[in-house]
Each structure stands twice: as structure tokens, then as C-alpha cells.
């Protein structure tokens, strides 16, 4: 990888870090649902994941979101389970990039990808209840399901499917990447005109 490409990855990572950190700070005002069910703005990294190329750029977004969470935790004080949650961010977001693939304007794929990101992160984070706390398996499952709904669905899938079409073709040129899946976009438009487009 040349220095220009590395610079793009740094820019993507910094954008993900700063935007996720700012939105995390704002959503902290939403009361947490016991036990540890909160509202994290997954639509921020997921919108970036959808439009940047799958691979290193998507990984840069995932690592940026993890760093944004670390910066937020720095203000509140770190807990022993935070590293597990960090792993959940990277695995969840990076996995979701492959669900979307080269179809960023396909709302079904984006919707499912957000649920995958929320679910993977929630499950990995919930394991900390069993490893480090005295909570039962029931509490861990309850927290995982709750965070999948709040982070993956409410703060993820629902806003992201409306944000991505507005970012597509605009934000990539500032980040230095060509629009992802342009050939699929043109084919889908032709199929829609003929009424033969598939929903996924």
C-alpha cells in the first residue's frame, strides 16, 4: 500500500473516531436501561461502512469507532470489561461490511448489516457479564437482545437506510474513493425501470 492510500485510511479512521465520539457524547443523555442496555449511534460508523470499500477502509472505520468509544470511556473511567466491548466493535462493524458488499444502496442488505453489527457487538460485550461480573446467563442474554434492538435496530438500521443514499456518491470523493458498487447501482436502476429488480 502506498502512502496516499495509507493517508486515506487515516482520514477515514479519524472521521469515524471523531464523529462516533461526538454522537456518543450526545446520546449519553438518553437514560440507560438496566442492565447495561444503552443507545449507541451505530448509524455513524454503519453509514461510513456502507459507502467505503470493503477491506482496509471498512477496517479503518471499525477501528475508528472503537477508538471513539475508548475516548468516551476515558471521560467516564475505564472498566475491566471495556476491552471486550472494543473487540465487539471491530468484529461487528467489519463483519457488516461484507454483508453490504458492493450494494450500498440496497436497503435490505444495509438493514441486515446493521442488525449483524449490533448483534455481534452486543453478544461479545455481554460475555463480560459472565467473565468479570457475577451476573447470570439470563442477564447476559437479556443485555445482548436489548442492545441488538437499541444499537442495531433503533440507532442503527432505521436511520442508516435513510442516510446512506444521501451520502452515496458525495462523501467518497472527499475521502478519495470511487463510489462503491456503481455497476450494481446502474443495473438495479435498469431493472427497476423494467420492474424486475430483486430486493437484495
Rounded mean pLDDT of 137-159? Answer: 92
pLDDT one-digit tens code per residue, 62-81: 999 999 998 888 877 666 66
Predicted confidence at residue 163, as pLDDT, reads 95
User: For the chain, which residues make up each domain, given as ranges?
Assistant: 3-194
CB atoms within 10 A of CB 76: 9
| DSSP track, 48-104 | HHHHSPTTHHHHHHHHHHHHHHHHHHHHH---TTHHHHHHHHHHHHHHHHHHHTT-T
Assigned C-alpha cell, 94: 467489519
Q: Where does the pLDDT of residue 43 fall: very low under 50, low under 70, confident under 90, or very high at 90 and above?
A: very high
Give the fold, CATH level 3, of 3-194: Arp2/3 complex 21 kDa subunit ARPC3 (1.10.1760)
Assigned C-alpha cell, 111: 438493514
Q: Where does the pLDDT of residue 188 fall: very low under 50, low under 70, confident under 90, or very high at 90 and above?
A: low
Predicted confidence at residue 197, as pLDDT, reads 55
Q: Is the pLDDT of residue 192 over 60?
A: no
Predicted confidence at residue 126, as pLDDT, reads 87
> Which pTM does this prediction carry?
0.86
Amino acid at each position: 500500500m502506498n502512502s496516499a492510500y495509507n493517508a486515506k485510511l487515516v482520514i477515514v479512521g479519524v472521521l469515524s473516531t471523531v464523529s462516533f465520539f461526538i454522537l456518543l457524547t450526545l446520546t449519553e443523555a438518553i437514560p440507560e436501561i438496566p442492565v447495561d442496555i444503552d443507545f449507541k449511534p451505530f448509524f455513524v460508523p454503519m453509514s461510513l461502512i456502507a459507502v467505503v470499500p470493503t477491506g482496509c477502509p471498512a477496517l479503518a472505520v471499525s477501528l475508528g469507532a472503537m477508538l471513539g468509544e475508548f475516548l468516551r470511556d476515558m471521560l467516564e473511567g475505564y472498566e475491566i470489561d471495556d476491552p471486550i466491548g472494543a473487540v465487539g466493535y471491530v468484529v461487528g462493524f467489519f463483519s457488516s461490511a461484507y454483508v453490504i458488499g458492493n450494494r450500498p444502496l440496497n436497503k435490505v442488505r444495509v438493514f441486515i448489516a446493521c442488525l449483524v453489527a449490533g448483534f455481534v457487538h452486543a453478544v461479545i460485550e455481554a460475555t463480560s457479564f459472565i467473565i468479570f461480573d457475577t451476573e447470570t446467563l439470563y442477564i447476559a442474554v437479556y443485555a445482548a437482545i436489548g442492545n441488538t434492538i437499541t444499537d442495531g435496530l433503533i440507532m442503527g438500521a432505521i436511520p442508516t437506510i435513510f442516510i446512506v443514499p444521501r451520502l452515496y456518491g458525495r462523501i467518497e470523493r472527499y475521502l478519495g474513493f470511487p463510489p462503491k458498487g456503481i455497476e450494481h447501482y446502474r443495473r438495479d436502476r435498469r431493472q427497476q425501470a423494467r420492474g424486475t429488480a430483486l430486493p437484495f
